[in-house]
Chain A
Amino acid sequence: MTETPENGCESDDQGYGAGMAASEVNAWFVREVLPLEAALRRYLRTGWRNDSDVGDMCQDIFVRALEAARKEIPRAARPFVFSIARNLLLDRLHRNQIVSIDAVADMESFGLASDEPLPDRSLSARQDWKRLQVVLNQLPERWRDAVVMRKIEGLSRKEIAQRMGLAERTVAQHLASGIAALTDFFNHDAAEPKGAP
């Protein structure tokens, strides 16, 4: 299996953030923190009944993790990220007096404080490919078509527009929506193809 570099997308070498080792921090973040998102969301959902807040809370936790890592990259990402999550819930508890006790009190029982690898990190290439297919099939048709043309056929925006008979601006919107939706599907626990054949 090969990873083909994306045209015009060489983020690993670019430092996007401020600070000296931005690219190192970003690489750590992508490698260690992002894969925790589904577990983090699950944890937050037990602690916070309002689902629509969970995305913002997740972002908040990621931001705190990233900023802390700019000073020093933590040795174990998972306990670090989940202690941020726990503190965030405690903050909310004190400020708003509404928070779930399940999460705050029972974090340990979720096994999230330890640093054992999560089971989902070790998807085989084929499982991974299947999952991509499933996720892709959940996209609205036009978004999916645009994504496939860009991703698999490597077409430019203009070429896709011609192929689909749409304005370039519309294609750009379909693609951006597709990218955003894929991002959700991949990171939200709820969007897993659970139990699906």
Chain B
Amino acid sequence: MSNPNEEPRWDKNSRENQAHAAAWIEERESGDWSEARQAEFDAWIAQSPAHLVAFLRAETVWKHADRLRALTNPGPMKPNAAGPSTRKTTFLKIAAAFAVVSLAGTGAVALFQSPKAQTYSTTIGGHETLTLDDGSQIELNTNTTVRVAYESGHRNIWLDKGEAYFNVVHDPGRPFVVTLGNRRVTDLGTKFFVRRDQDRIQVALVEGKARFDAALEPAPSQQTVLTPGDIVTATAETVSLKREPSRNLSNQLGWRRGMLVFDHATLADVANEYNRYNRTKLVVAGAEAQRLTISGTLPATDLGAFTRLATKFFNLRVERHEKEIVVSR
């Protein structure tokens, strides 16, 4: 065919084409159809293969709906009416493969109650789930340190660095409080995650409710009750709250499956993420290469997946050194 870079000549708007196709189908069988309209219809079809596609597509479904009539009285329903079809199988297989990846790095640790705070850490690339004695769970991402102090009236957690996902068994008589430097999250019946980089923290609420205190000192101020989808980002000077669709939240939690999920991320961002999980550091050299963008899911500790992508789809050069991998144009 012609040059693939040329903009296609047909009408690109599939919604519009579909609406027109549906209107034509309706009119053809409305009981009010003329030769003149037939000619106009033929012209519309001939105008663009996209019109033909839209018409065939809608007409096929519409004809299929004839079965409503054919089967309007289908007799007694048999109890073995089948459940949903099996078309999700391929997805399940893929999900299962991910699950193996993440389970391999997960060890559940029961915590003994102790008056003093106990410290738990993961190394770079690590991933651990703590199950606390009240049933609450803390899932630690790479390079993360938390301290846990359970007392009769309080459950106090400090996230000193890294990222963690909290699944809290709510107990109003025994508040579950996560402290990040000068800021604090209090559980009100919740699943949430918290990430702490050098000078920035992020708190995102997945389920339930939590309270966020923006500043503990000099005086407690700026309390916000978070609801699902809320993400608080706080730096030393600023606090911002935004709401994200749940898919974005689950993307950010890809690490729980051992995966990094990117949505229009630049290669520079991708490298930064990878570097949280791996001792061998990725360097994307050159502004041009850094600006390339991808969406997709990559295994967090498989640098090979990234370099294959870089060579295969972006034609980038990959140099391996002892402690780093440099990717450039």
**Known interface pairs A8-B28, A105-B309, A187-B57; A195-B84 also in contact (CB < 8 Å):** yes
Q: CA separation between A124 and B80, bound complex, in Å?
A: 12
* A186 close to chain B: CB less than 8 A: yes
Q: Is B71 within 8 A of A102, CB to CB?
A: no
Question: Roughly how many angstroms separate A48 CA and B263 CA in the complex, as a whole number?
Answer: 9
Give bound CA distance, A99 to B314, whole Å. Answer: 11
Which of A59, A97, A193 is in CB contact (< 8 Å) with B53?
A59
A85 within 8 A of B: no
Distance between Cα atoms of A117 and B98 in the complex (Å): 26
Q: Which of A2, A30, A158 contacts B31 (CB 8 A)?
A: A158
Q: Is A29 an interface residue (CB 8 A)?
A: yes
Partner of B57 from the list A4, A34, A93, A147 (CB cut-off 8 Å) is A34
**CB-CB contacts of B168-209 with A at 8 A, as 1s and 0s?**
000000000000000000000000000000000000000000
Interface window among B59-67, B106-114, B319-327 = B59-67
Whether A172 lies near B66 (C-beta < 8 A) is no
Which residues of chain B come closer than 8 Å to A95, judged between CB atoms? 5
Contact A17 B78 (CB under 8 A): no
A152 adjacent to chain B (CB < 8 Å): yes
Q: Out of B13, B46, B55, name the residue touching A18 (CB < 8 Å).
A: B46
A102 and B22 contact, CB distance less than 8 A: no
Known contacts A126-B74, A126-B78, A157-B31: A152-B69 contact under CB 8 Å: yes
Residue of A nearest to B44 (CB): A16
Q: Report the contact-size class of chain A (Cβ under 8 Å from the partner).
A: 35 or more
**Whole-angstrom distance between the alpha carbons of A59 and B150 in the complex?**
58
Q: Would A59 and B294 count as touching, CB distance under 8 A?
A: no
Distance, CA A30 to CA B82, complexed state (A): 26
Check if A13 is an interface residue, CB within 8 A of chain B. no
Type the 1/0 row for B2-37, where 1 means its CB is closer than 8 Å to any CB of A: 001100101011110111011101111111110000
Q: Is the CB of A1 within 8 A of B57?
A: no
For B63-98 the 0/1 string (1 means CB < 8 A from A) is 111111111101001100110111111110110000
Contacts of A179 in B (CB 8 A): 22, 25-26, 58, 61-62
Let me know if A102 and B61 touch, CB within 8 A. Answer: no
Residue among B15, B28, B56, B64 with most chain A CB within 10 A: B56
> How many angstroms from the CA of A128 to the CA of B292 in the assembled complex?
45
Q: In the bound complex, how far is the Cα of B44 from the Cα of A153, in angstroms? A: 29
Q: How far is the CA of A136 from the CA of B62 in the complex (A)?
A: 12
Contact A128 B67 (CB under 8 A): yes
- Stretch of B157-165, B221-229, B295-303 contacting A (4+ beta carbons < 8 Å): B295-303
A126-165 contact mask (Cβ, 8 Å, vs B): 1 or 0: 1111101100100000000001101110101111000000
**A58 near B22: Cβ-Cβ < 8 Å:** no
In this complex, what residue of A is CB-closest to B41?
Answer: A16
Extra 4 A-B pairs, beta carbons < 8 Å, given A120-B87, A172-B27: A60-B12, A126-B74, A158-B31, A194-B88
Q: What would be 23 A-B contacts, judged by CB atoms less than 8 Å apart?
A: A3-B66, A4-B69, A16-B56, A17-B52, A49-B263, A56-B12, A56-B13, A59-B50, A66-B52, A99-B295, A100-B296, A105-B308, A110-B90, A119-B85, A123-B85, A124-B82, A152-B69, A176-B22, A179-B26, A180-B21, A182-B65, A187-B57, A192-B84
